Chain A
Amino acid sequence: MTMESLKEIDELCDEWVPESLIPPLTEEIRCEPPVLESASGPQTVINGKEVVNFASANYLGLIGHEKLLESCTSALEKYGVGSCGPRDVHLDCESRIAKFLGTPDSILYSYGLSTMFSAIPAFRKEGDVIVVDEGVHWGIQNGLYLSRSTIVYFKHNDMESLQSTLEKITLDNKRAKKLRRYIVVEAVYQNSGQVAPLDEIIRLKEKYHFCVLLDESNSFGVLGRSGRGLTEYYGVPVEKIDVITAAMGYALAT
């Protein structure tokens, strides 16, 4: 490199001024969330006052359950708090969940939010087509982004929109048979509370040969006669769904 161009680069570097790391804070940003002074059960204490709690996803009221606390305590004593690899209890838990749902196997992630966003890129590769409800939560959106697949959104919980989207993809892609195609929906949408019409989704999925990934975070343990989720609620055999994910921080209170 010549002396001149070196000097030029020096000057450019000197002149460059970065933006600040974060934008200036507004009043809105400074607002503080409530601080709980007891467990977030149906009643909780905020600022020394007892209040009724409608904010927590403690669907089954398992917070503070005596039996659970006992078994958690003995697990803490035996295994410590953090983990550093698979434990036999983890594997037992995986097979119990699988048995509960009626699927061949299951895998446990350590954090609800990361489940979808690890699972999606694991299945999908570049070039796959994914049809997604536009109302899905952030974990799914991020997983989709990381998968680098072609992503098509359909109108929130609108089956006509889903059908026309699937129709269009099938027509547009002559290679469609070779292409991996997925539908991603939530059972109960975290952001809108709506329930996905699973029977209709299954009909469309079978018609157009798509795989379905279903996030049951807000329905696992809640919907269906024995809490097995949306499939039980609609009486759909669980084998029809290709992948089911759920966060255990809600109904299971862990």
Chain B
Amino acid sequence: MIAIPYLTALTTYFSYGLLFAFGQIRDLFRKIIDWSRANNLQGYAPICLGLEDFYTRRLYLRIQDCFGRPISSAPDAWFDVVERYSNDNNKTLKRTTKINRCLNLGSYNYLGFAAADEYCTPRAIEALKKYSPSTCSSRVDGGTTVLHNELEKSVAKFVGKPAAIVLGMGYVTNSAILPVLIGKGGLIISDSLNHNSIVNGARGSGATIRVFQHNTPSHLEEVLREHIAEGQPRTHRPWKKILVIVEGIYSMEGELCKLPEIIAVCKKYKAYTYLDEAHSIGAVGKTGRGVCELLGVDTADVDIMMGTFTKSFGSCGGYIAGSKELIQYLKYTCPAHLYATSISPPAAEQIISAIKVILGEDGSSRGAQKLAQIRKNSNFFRSELQKMGFEVLGDNDSPVMPIMLYNPAKIPAFSRECLKQNVAVVTVAFPATPLLLARARICISASHTKEDLIKGLEVISRVGDLVGIKYFPAEPKKQEERMVKLD
């Protein structure tokens, strides 16, 4: 859990209070002005009423240049950020033709497959020429090519399950599969920090939803006991089934799931497990097979394994891996499989090739090198940040490392200052995190070189001093020496 220092909490609340007050005052003036003008809605209700869009108008718009920055190259270790300007106090941003070459510390390009790759790209282009960009059909009526079947086989083998089904988008994989697996009379127990796609899938399923404290197996057990004993609400009939949903790496926290403990609890109480490996598949584990491999969990103990190809594999889409029967059933019932256009053939080929590289089936050791590199890079970067006195969340080996900012004013300050010094970082604030816990999220890639990381650290350290986010005392010096030694 994040223990926020008392003083920081106070100033953060104060800042938000101030922003809120000023926003309210400006709203009041706007209302008065609107009053005097003719109402042009002609009987339609306004799309946004009162406070519904307050956050967007008065807080987000003021710092929107820190989000959604367009880039004009592949999201490799370095990339081109398009400069933007605004003539109306940041309400709208216009793109210029000027480009700023920046170090990329924001993309989920864990293994460096996002940029052109000597093995994958030629094959993806070949698939594009042979199969076109789209199949224009869903999987069941003419959208299944030889590539699609090969992809599913190779994914199943890679994650260590008998079978797999692949859908065109990771988000849809969660939100369309969950309603098929469980419905009324079922119970979903979900980690409190699960991704929005899981939340939407769970809501869409009609099952009862309960939340357990983030990554706390003992609380999961408590919730399970309580609800099995109680049964369904009102009727007290026993639950039809219980599904526990967790993620491999939490992308906003950089934390690894306590999978062995959670699996043990689920087994004891006969609950099914659903593991979302969006950020862990390909990124961690000795051969890139995700948290199960890293933490020594037998994949047979996880009932449903889900993941996406947008991150480590530099493609698009998502998968579900499980028993042969489960996958067969999903292929017959899942709306996203039956109605949505199938995954684009070149994207499928990109995944197949990326898996081959990771497993060394391309005949080189590039995959193993990438995996060693991302681990080394991540652990180096994390320990250096900690030594400088930043409050860094997450576990060792995780390539995601959030740096706590807290104060709303520090979000744009940190982001803009880093960008000025050619380092692009992602800042995350409400509603993706709790209001008080704004942070910058660093994602490390295997394609970062040592020099890249050292440059990133230097800039972040300088900006960190400027913005005042080194919440812990720095470790007594000798940093330079150590950095050199680590080579």
Contact = CB atoms under 8 A, between A and B. Distances in A.
Contact of B74 (A39, A80, A146, A178): A80
Interface in A113-141: 113-114, 117, 123, 125, 137-139
B243 to A, nearest CB: 8
Interface stretch (A50-58, A155-163, A193-201, A226-234): A50-58
B326 A9 contact: no
A13 B228 contact: yes
Contact of B125 (A29, A58, A76): A76
B161 to A, nearest CB: 14
A91 B179 CA distance: 33
A76 B140 contact: no
B121 A77 contact: yes
A21 interface: yes
Interface in A18-37: 18-23, 25, 28-30, 33-37
Contacts of B46: 180
Interface in B294-329: 303-304, 309-310, 313-316, 325-326, 328-329
Contacts of B82: 88
A86 interface: yes
Nearest to A8: B229
Contacts of B269: 13, 16
B116 interface: yes
Contacts of A22: 181, 325-326, 329
B209 interface: no
A21 B181 contact: yes
B101 to A, nearest CB: 14
Chain B interface residue count: which class?
Answer: 35 or more
B168 interface: yes
Contacts of A103: none
B45 A180 contact: yes
B196 to A, nearest CB: 10
Contacts of B251: none
A232 B444 CA distance: 49
A17 B228 CA distance: 10
Interface string A46-82: 0000000101111000011000110011001111111
B267 to A, nearest CB: 12
Contact of B315 (A55, A81, A91, A181): A81
Nearest to B336: A113
B98 to A, nearest CB: 12
Interface in B230-273: 238-242, 269-272
Given A9-B229, A83-B75, A68 B133 contact: yes
For A12, A22, A44, A88, the residue with the greatest tally of chain B CB atoms inside 10 Å of its CB is A22
Nearest to A68: B133
Contacts of B303: 21
B430 interface: no
B347 interface: yes
B70 A25 contact: no
Contacts of B175: 114, 117, 142
A179 interface: yes
Contacts of B74: 78-80
Contact of A12 (B52, B130, B228): B228
A189 interface: no
Contact of B131 (A34, A39, A79, A249): A39
A171 to B, nearest CB: 15
A111 B45 contact: no
A72 B131 CA distance: 12
A176 to B, nearest CB: 8
B171 to A, nearest CB: 6
A81 B272 contact: no
Nearest to A179: B45
A85 B132 contact: no
B339 A138 contact: yes
Contacts of B168: 111, 113
Most buried by A among B106, B125, B132, B229: B132
B142 A55 contact: yes
Contacts of B73: 78-79
Contacts of A16: 228, 238-239, 269-270
Contacts of A211: 44, 47
Interface string B128-154: 111111111101111111101100000
A39 B345 CA distance: 9
A85 B75 contact: yes
B70 A146 contact: no
B340 interface: yes
A218 to B, nearest CB: 11
B128 A247 contact: no
20 contacts: A18-B271, A19-B241, A21-B181, A25-B328, A36-B146, A39-B130, A40-B136, A53-B142, A57-B341, A72-B133, A76-B125, A80-B76, A82-B315, A85-B107, A86-B71, A113-B339, A114-B171, A142-B179, A142-B204, A254-B133
Interface of B: 42-47, 52, 68-76, 82, 95, 106-109, 113-117, 120-121, 124-125, 128-137, 139-146, 148-149, 168-169, 171-172, 175-176, 179, 181, 200, 203-204, 224-226, 228-229, 238-242, 269-272, 303-304, 309-310, 313-316, 325-326, 328-329, 332, 335-336, 339-341, 344-347, 350
| Nearest 8 CB-CB pairings of A with B | A249-B341, A55-B142, A111-B169, A84-B107, A113-B340, A209-B43, A80-B74, A138-B335
Interface of A: 8-9, 12-13, 16-23, 25, 28-30, 33-41, 44, 53, 55-58, 63-64, 68-69, 72-73, 76-91, 110-114, 117, 123, 125, 137-139, 142, 145-146, 177-181, 190, 209, 211, 247, 249-250, 252-254
Given A9-B228, A29-B329, 16 more contacts: A12-B228, A21-B181, A36-B142, A39-B131, A39-B145, A55-B142, A56-B137, A76-B125, A84-B109, A85-B71, A86-B71, A113-B168, A139-B335, A249-B340, A249-B341, A250-B341
